[in-house]
Structure 1
Amino acid sequence: MKRLLLSTILATGFIGTAQAAETTKCGSVSIAEMNWASAGVAAYVDKFILEAGYGCDVDVVTGDTMPTFTSMNEKGEPDLAPEMWVNTVQKPLADAVREGRLIKAAAILKDGGVEGWWIPKFVADAHPDIKTVDDALKHPELFPAPEDPSKAAVYNCPAGWACQITTGNIFKALKAGEKGFSLVDSGSAAALDGSIANAFEKKAGWLGYYWAPTPILGKYDMVKLSMPVAFDRAEWDRCTSVADCADPKVNDYPVTDVSTVVTKKFAEKAGIAMDYVKQRQWDNETIGKVLGWMSENQADNEEAAEYFLKTYPDIWSKWVAPDVAEKIKAEL
Structure 2
Amino acid sequence: MVKLRSTAALAALALASLLPPPALADDSKDPIKLTLHDWTGQLVSAHIMGEVLKKAGLNIEYVQADYLAQFAGLKTGDVHVAMEIWATTGKDALEEAVATKKVENLGETGMLAIEEWWYPLYMKEKCPGLPDWQALKKCAEQFSIPETAPKGRYVGAPATWGGFDDERVEALDLPFEVVHAGTDAALFAELESAYQRQAPVVLWVYAPHWAPIKYKGEWVEFPKYESACYTDPAWGINKEKAYDCGKPRGAIWKAAWSGLKDKWPTAHSAIKNFEFTNDEMGKLVGEIDLDGKKLDDVVAAWMKDNEPRWKKWIGG
Normalising by structure 1, we get a TM-score of: 0.66
Residue 105 of structure 1 corresponds to 106
1:72-83 aligned at under 5 Å gives the runs: 72-74=74-76, 76-83=77-84
Query: Alpha-carbon deviation of 1:119?
Result: 1.2
Call closer, same or farther: CA 1:59–1:175 in 2, change over 3 Å: closer
Per the alignment, residue 6 of structure 2 pairs with: none
Separation in 1, partners of 2:199, 2:104 = 46
Check conservation: 2:34, 2:50, Cα contact below 8 A: no
Q: Which residue of 2 aligns with 1:206?
A: 201
Contact 2:230–2:242 (CA under 8 A) maintained in structure 1: no
Q: Structure 1: any 5+ residue segments left out of the alignment? A: 1-19, 326-332
Q: 2:99 aligns with which of 95, 101, 105?
A: 95
- Aligned-partner Cα distance in 1 for 2:242–2:37: 32
C-alpha distance in structure 2 between counterparts of 1:302 and 1:46, whole Å: 13
Secondary structure of 1:47 counterpart: helix
State the identity as a percent: 15
Contact 1:231–1:254, Cα closer than 8 Å, also in 2: yes
Residues 145, 153 of structure 2: 8 Å contact kept = no
Report deviation, 1:118: 0.4
SS at match of 1:83: strand
Q: Distance in 1 between matches of 2:125 and 2:103?
A: 46
Q: CA deviation at 1:237?
A: 2.8
Q: Could you tell me which residue of structure 2 aligns to residue 5 of structure 1?
A: none
Structure 1 residues 119 and 309, CA, compared in 2 at 3 Å: closer, same or farther? farther
Partner Cα separation in structure 2 for residue 196 and residue 156 of structure 1:
9
Once the two structures are superposed, residues 222-269 of structure 1 have per-residue CA deviations (whole angstroms, 9 ceiling, x without a partner) of 432322x221333323459xxxx9656731112365322223443235
Q: Which runs of 5+ in 2 are unaligned?
A: 1-20
Larger helix percent: 1
- Look up the equivalent residue of 1:321 and give its one-letter code: K
- Report if the CA contact (8 A) 1:32-1:78 is conserved: yes
Structure 2 CA distance, aligned partners of 1:186 and 1:322?
Answer: 38
Amino acid of the structure 2 residue aligned with 1:132: D
Inter-CA distance 283–225: structure 2 relative to 1 (3 Å threshold): farther
Q: Deviations over 1:112-162 (max 9, x none)?
A: 3x3211012565699997443335656568x44232899672414379557
Question: Partner of 1:110: helix, strand, or coil?
Answer: strand
Alpha-carbon displacement from aligned partner over 1:145-204 (angstroms, at most 9, x marks no partner): 23289967241437955758x334433454443xxxx43525634654343122111133
Q: From the superposition, tell whether residues 171 and 280 of structure 1 become closer, same or farther in structure 2 (CA, over 3 Å).
A: same
Following superposition, the deviation at residue 49 of structure 1 comes to: 1.3
Larger radius of gyration: 1
Alignment pair present for 1:43 and 2:34: no
SS of equivalent to 1:106: strand
Once the two structures are superposed, what CA deviation does each residue of 1:2-26 show, in whole Å capped at 9, x if it has no partner? xxxxxxxxxxxxxxxxxx9664994
Aligned partner of 2:201: which letter? Answer: W
Given that 1:109 and 1:281 are in contact with CA atoms closer than 8 Å, whether structure 2 keeps it comes out as yes
CA displacement at 1:36 relative to structure 2: 1.7
Partner residue, 2:18:
none
Instruction: Name the amino acid aligned to 2:63.
Output: V
Instruction: Report if aligned partners of 1:105, 1:261 keep a CA contact under 8 Å in 2.
Output: yes
Query: What are the Cα deviations for residues 25-74 of structure 1, in whole angstroms up to 9, with x where unaligned?
Result: 9453413232222222222101211222x232323233334554333322
Say whether the 8 Å CA contact 1:290–1:307 is kept in structure 2: no
Aligned position for 1:157: 156
Residue 145 of structure 2 aligns to a residue in which SS? coil
Structure 1: which amino acid aligns with 2:221?
S
Whether the aligned pair in 1 keeps the contact of 2:225 and 2:246 (CA below 8 Å) is: yes
Aligned match of 2:177: 183
Alignment of 1:276-295 (within 5 A): 276-295=270-289
Q: Does 1:61 pair with 2:70?
A: no
Distance in 1, Cα, partners of 2:297 & 2:38: 15
Aligned to 2:8: none
* TM-score normalised by L of structure 2: 0.69
1-structure distance, mates of 2:158, 2:70: 24
Q: 1:123-142 counterparts in 2 under 5 A?
A: 130-135=130-135
Query: What is the rounded CA distance, in whole Å, between the counterparts of 1:116 and 1:133 in structure 2?
Result: 11
For 2:288, what is the secondary structure of its paired residue? helix
Task: Tell me the SS of whatever aligns to 2:107.
Answer: coil
Give the corresponding residue for 1:115: 115
**Number of aligned pairs?**
286
Rounded Cα–Cα distance in structure 2 between residues aligned with 1:175 and 1:65: 28
Question: Are the structure 2 counterparts of residues 273 and 224 from structure 1 closer, same or farther at C-alpha, using a change threshold of 3 Å?
Answer: same
SS in 2 for 1:253: coil
| RMSD of aligned residue pairs (Cα, Å) | 4.2
Alignment of 1:189-228 (within 5 A): 189=183, 192-213=187-208, 220-227=215-222
2:10 is aligned to: none
Q: Secondary structure at the match of 1:108?
A: strand
> Does the CA contact (< 8 Å) of 1:219 and 1:289 recur in 2?
no
Contact 1:156 1:168 in 2 (8 A): no
Structure 1 counterpart SS, 2:177: strand
